[in-house]
Amino acid sequence: MSSTPRICVLRAPGTNSDHETCYAFEQAGGKVDNVHVFELTESPERLQDYQILCIPGGFSYGDDIGAGVIFAGQIRRKMGDLLHAHLQRNTLTLGICNGFQVLLKSGILPNGTEDWTPGPEFEREATLTWNNNGKYTARWVKMVVDSPQNVFLKGIETIEMPLAHAEGKLCVANDDLLNSWKANRQIAVRYCDDSHSANDEVLSEEYNPNGSVANIAGLSDVSGRVLGLMPHPERFIKATHHPSWTRRPERGAGDGLKLFQNAVNYFA
């Protein structure tokens, strides 16, 4: 395998962060293709050429019947075998914002590489729904890493980046599922306060803008090769992307670039 991985940034009608995501992977040293979902369904063998699959943010199919629902249905019904084969190889998969919604609503998360199987129906025990404030929310958040074994999060303890969504509140069917995620270190990142403190008690809207259970901002699969998160790492690639950059000492790379570098370096 080449030490320079090939990356498929998979977009659908309504996706709006694909170019920024491609740029982020390119800045990390990867070779990136911006691929429309129809291209992949017409030539499914193309996915075998990629080591990293990323579903970027946006509003796929306008989120007309729910965020990520139509795209997730496409993955299960039209690309199920293709994605199953991708997950079984030594690959990485990333879902950002709408991409996280797609991974969760297709069942790829939390199952990931372990036992995800394609098909038209499956039992969904977790979902992302409307923010507690009932509206689209865009702001910067602080997070603490809870899943250090995840490839994308290697060497990261805390991270800051922007979020922008209306349906980012993570809900679970029962406490048993939440406890299972904790035991398997699948809670990837949590929203935290200024002291980087986060636990199961839901923080105020100032720190957890959507009201996600246990302040969960992202999930990992058990293998650590799949990550989905609501905030946007591709929007903090340079230190000057931060709204307070003139008052901060940092220069050079922004926090988000590390996730993409970790993914590319995994194949070095």
Which residue is listed with tokens 């290697």?
154
CA distance 264 to 38: 26
* Complete DSSP assignment for 3-51: SS-EEEEEE-TTB--HHHHHHHHHHTT-EEEEEEHHHHHHSGGGGGG-S
If residue 229 lies in a helix (H) or strand (E), which one and from where to where?
Answer: strand 226-229
97 is known as an active-site residue: yes
234 is catalytic: yes
Given the residues 86, 165, 232, 242, the one annotated as active site: 232
Q: Does residue 78 sit in helix, strand or coil?
A: helix
The residue among 63, 56, 205, 202 whose CA lies nearest residue 134 is 205
| Selected catalytic residue, list 20, 86, 192, 234 | 234
Residue where the block lists tokens 């922004």:
254
Residue 36 catalytic?
no
Tokens in use for 9? 């940034």
Catalytic residue among 8, 97, 165, 242: 97
Torsion on CA atoms 152, 112, 118, 10, rounded to nearest 10: -10
Residues 6+ apart with CB under 8 A from 13: 60, 61, 62
Residues carrying an active site annotation: 97, 232, 234
